[in-house]
Structure 1
Amino acid sequence: MDRDEVLDVFREAGALLEGHFLLSSGLHSAMYLQCARVLMDPKRAERLCRALAAKVRAATGEPIDMVVSPAMGGVIVGYEMGRQLGVPAIFTERVEGEFTLRRGFEIPEGARILMAEDIVTTGLSSRECIDVIRRYGGNVVVASCLIDRSNGKADVGVPLVSLAGLEIPAYEEDNLPPELKTLPAIKPGSRGLK
């Protein structure tokens, strides 16, 4: 799938939103990609993740033993990436503000891990998830996401494979463009829903 095909899938799902959004990173944006709307349809999720899994295979050239994703946004993508790659998929979740493994999840020592996300903006959640994977003995060989909002600028500490990269400006609250200053900010993500 090329970038335009991926964006068409988001548009068809009503998941490419315009307005004034407060992202989980704390930054503001005039565009929001609501992955949950795309991934609620198993056929769309399968199509997107099959294409992403092919890109991951081509980029790594080595087998993946397990997929680990950050909750909440990465859970469905991580599961479907595990299904596409034929490996187990688990997720980290926040406990008192920090990612950790729960639910009896374990990472075998030295396991080759794909860290799978839905959207990467600054890379913070990805880096936090990767830190947990390493703390539990995993070897993160590659990270992936459906959409890289940084268009290659976010550094997650390992190679990042995305299905589509976009250059979507994001702003600090004290540096909003005039068109965003006049609109109320909506926080549509999984942390702090309005």
Structure 2
Amino acid sequence: MTDDEVLAEFRASHALLEGHFKLSSGRHSAHYLQCARVLMNAERAGKLARALCQKIPREIRSQVEKVVSPAMGGVIIGHEMGRTLEVDAVFLERPSGTFELRRGFDVKEGEKVLLVEDVVTTGLSSGEAIKAVRKAGGEVLAAAALVDRSAGEADFDVPFFALVEINFPTYAPGEVPPELAAIPLEKPGSRKG
């Protein structure tokens, strides 16, 4: 899929929002990608997962034994990536602030893992998820996301692949431009606060 085709899928599902948003990273933006909306259609989610899978080199794809995603945003795309790669997909949760495997999910010692997210902005959540997988004994081969909006700033010690790069400006809380600050703030993500 081309970048324009990917963005068309976001627009068709009303997943590309405009306003004043506080992102899960704490930064502010005039644009928000509601990946849950683009992924609510199973056919579309599968198509996007297959396209993302094609961005990952075959030598990495062929080694993946399990897909792990951070909840909530990564759950659907992680599941679809597991289906595409024909491996199990599990997710991490933050019941007390740090990622952990729950619900009987596990990662075996040395198991080769692909970490899958919906959107990467700062890379902080993905980095924390990678640490949790390693703590559980897994070997993270690569990270992947539907959308990289980090402007190349996300830095993992594993290869990172994104279906599309979108670089809408984001602002630290004290740096929000007046025209954006005048718009009521929304927090549409899964983490409130």
TM-score by length of 1: 0.96
Comparing 176-185 with 112-121, greater Cα deviation is found at: 176-185
* Partners of 1:31 and 1:116 in 2: CA distance: 22
What are the Cα deviations for residues 137-194 of structure 1, in whole angstroms up to 9, with x where unaligned? 100010000000113221133111000011111101110112111111100001118x
Confirm or deny: 8 A CA contact 1:150 1:168 kept in the other structure: no
Structure 1 residue runs of 4+, over 3 Å off? none
Question: CA RMSD of the aligned region, Å?
Answer: 1.3
Q: Which residue of 2 aligns with 1:63?
A: 63
Q: Which residue of 1 aligns with 2:54?
A: 54
What are the Cα deviations for residues 23-52 of structure 1, in whole angstroms up to 9, with x where unaligned? 011000000000000010001100100111
CA change 1:61–1:145 in 2 (3 A) is closer
Confirm or deny: 8 A CA contact 2:20 2:185 kept in the other structure: yes
Q: Which residue identity lines up with residue 3 of structure 2 in the other structure?
A: R
Confirm or deny: 8 A CA contact 1:108 1:138 kept in the other structure: yes
Q: Which residue of 1 aligns with 2:153?
A: 153
Q: Which residue of 2 aligns with 1:92?
A: 92
Confirm or deny: 8 A CA contact 1:68 1:89 kept in the other structure: yes
* Partners of 2:93 and 2:133 in 1: CA distance: 12
Confirm or deny: 8 A CA contact 1:67 1:116 kept in the other structure: yes
TM superposition shift of 1:73: 0.3
Confirm or deny: 8 A CA contact 1:68 1:115 kept in the other structure: yes
What's the % identity of the aligned pairs? Answer: 55
Unaligned runs of 5+ in 2: none
Q: Which residue identity lines up with residue 162 of structure 1 in the other structure?
A: A
Q: How many residues align?
A: 193
TM superposition shift of 1:59: 6.8
Confirm or deny: 8 A CA contact 1:141 1:159 kept in the other structure: yes
TM-score by length of 2: 0.96
Q: Which residue of 2 aligns with 1:23?
A: 23
Map 1:8-157 onto structure 2 (within 5 A). 8-58=8-58, 60=60, 62-157=62-157
Q: Which residue of 1 aligns with 2:185?
A: 185
Confirm or deny: 8 A CA contact 2:149 2:166 kept in the other structure: yes
Confirm or deny: 8 A CA contact 1:59 1:161 kept in the other structure: no
TM superposition shift of 1:133: 0.3
Q: Which residue identity lines up with residue 36 of structure 1 in the other structure?
A: A
